[in-house]
Amino acid sequence: MKRMYKIMVYIILLSMCFHIAPYQPSAENSVSAHNAVLIEQHSGRILYEKAPHEKQRIASITKIMTAILAIESGKIDQVVKVSPNAIGVEGSSLYLVDGEKIKLKDLVYGLMLRSGNDSAVAIAEEVGGSLEGFVYLMNQKAEELGMVNTHFANPHGLDDHEDHYSTAYDMALLTRYAMQNEIYKEISGTKLYRMPHPEEKWDRVWKNKNKLLTNLYPYTTGGKTGYTKRAKRTLVTTASKDGLDLIAVTLNAPSDWNDHISMYESAFSSYKLTKVIKEGEFEGSNDPYYKHKLYVKRDVLYPLQEDEKSSIKLEAKLLKPSENWGDHASTPNIVGRINVYHNGEVIDHVSVYYKKGADEGGNGFWNKIKGMIFSFLGVRSNG
C-alpha cells in the first residue's frame, strides 16, 4: 500500500504541467549582436531571441541556401566546368581556374569551408543555368520553408544588391532544414578538406573558417561565417550536447564567437530534451474495445527547463468503435491522434494505432504507468 502511494505521488508529480518561457541572458551574458536567435533543432522551439524578425543584410551565411540547393540538385557528383564569370569575383575566393573541371561536391566544400565567392557563382551557373535562374530557385526554396522576411538576389551574399536580405529567425529555419540532410551535415561539420589542384603539383587544402568548430567550442557541429562592410559580422552555428541539438544565428555581431558560446552554455545548462509522449502502448480511452489495443509509433520530444510547468497539454481524439468493424481485423489501422499543445498552440501530433494480432506496442509496468500519466495529464478521448 505504501509502495502504491509512492507510485501515485510520482505520477502526480510527473503530470504537473510545465510553464515554458524563452531563456533570456542575464546582463553579464548579454549578446552583442544586433539580431540573434537560438532554436532547438528537433522541435524548432525558440530558446532565445533578440529582434529575430528584423530584415538585415546577411553576407556569406547566404551560402547555406546555395549549398543545400546544390546538394539537392541531384548533380552533387557531377563535374562542373568553371566559366569566366566565376573567376575574379571579389572577396573570399577558392582561386578557381578558368575552364577547370571540378566536382560540384568539391565546390560545395570550398563554398562552406572557405566561403569562396567564385565557387558560389560556379555552383549557381551549374544548378540554375545562370545566376538569375539560381536566384529564382533560392527564393522559391525560401518561400517553401516559410522564410517570409527573406529575399535573395545573389548566391554569395556580397553587397551588390539592395534587395538581398533575411532575418536571424529565417536563417535558423533554413539551417534547421539543411541539417536534416546528411551530406550538408557532413560538409558543414568538416574542419579540413583536401583536393588536387588542376594546374599545380600540390593539393588545395581548405580549413574551415568557423572557429567555434575548429577550436573554440567542442560541442559545435557545423555552421557558416559571414562578413561584408555593410552587413558586418554574421554567423550561423550548430551545436549538440546530451541529446540537445541547437542552432544559433547572429547578425551584425561584434563578438559573435562569444555570443554563440554564451547562448549555447546557458541553454545546455537550462534545458533538457524531454519525452512528452513515449512510444508504445497508450491507455487514453475507457472504451473496452480499445483496452490494451492502442499504441503510438514514436516519441514526442520537446526541450524543457526543470521548473517549467502548466503549458504542455495533451489531447487524444479517437474514433468511436463501429458495429461495422465486427472482428478486430476490420478495425482501421489508425483510430485517432494525440495533439500536443504548448500555451494553447499545437506543437506536434502523433497518430494512435490499433493493434491487430501480435503485440506491436509492448506492455508491462512502464506502459501501464504511462497510461495513468496520460490520464493525469488530462488526455481526453472522444468515443
Is residue 187 a contact partner of residue 264, using CB atoms and an 8 Å limit?
no
Task: Single out the catalytic residue among 63, 293, 355, 370.
Answer: 63
CA 292 to chain centre: 35
358-362-366 Cα angle (round to 5) = 160
Q: Which residues contact 8 (CB under 8 A, 6 or more apart)?
A: none
Q: Is 34 exposed, middle or buried (0-12, 13-18, 19+ CB in 10 A)?
A: middle
Full strand arrangement of the beta sheet holding 244-251 = 46-50, 35-40, 244-251, 232-241, 220-228
- Phi, psi for residue 11 in degrees, rounded to 5: -65, -45
Task: Single out the catalytic residue among 43, 50, 60, 188.
Answer: 60
The enclosing H or E element of 31 equals none
| Strand duo 294-296 + 345-354: pairing | antiparallel
The closest alpha carbon to 56, from 80, 36, 81, belongs to: 36
Residue 8's CB: how many other CB atoms inside 10 A?
12
The closest alpha carbon to 233, from 65, 59, 93, 56, belongs to: 59
- What's the CA gap between 33 and 135, in Å, rounded? 28
Cell of 310: 502548466
Residue 248's CB: how many other CB atoms inside 10 A?
31
Q: Which residues contact 298 (CB under 8 A, 6 or more apart)?
A: 279, 350
Is residue 303 a contact partner of residue 271, using CB atoms and an 8 Å limit?
yes
Task: Single out the catalytic residue among 43, 50, 92, 115.
Answer: 115
Annotation marks residue 63 as catalytic: yes
Annotation marks residue 322 as catalytic: no
Cell of 276: 512528452
Q: Is 175 exposed, middle or buried (0-12, 13-18, 19+ CB in 10 A)?
A: buried
Annotation marks residue 115 as catalytic: yes
What is the widest separation between alpha-carbon atoms in the chain? 82
Q: What residues act catalytically?
A: 60, 63, 115
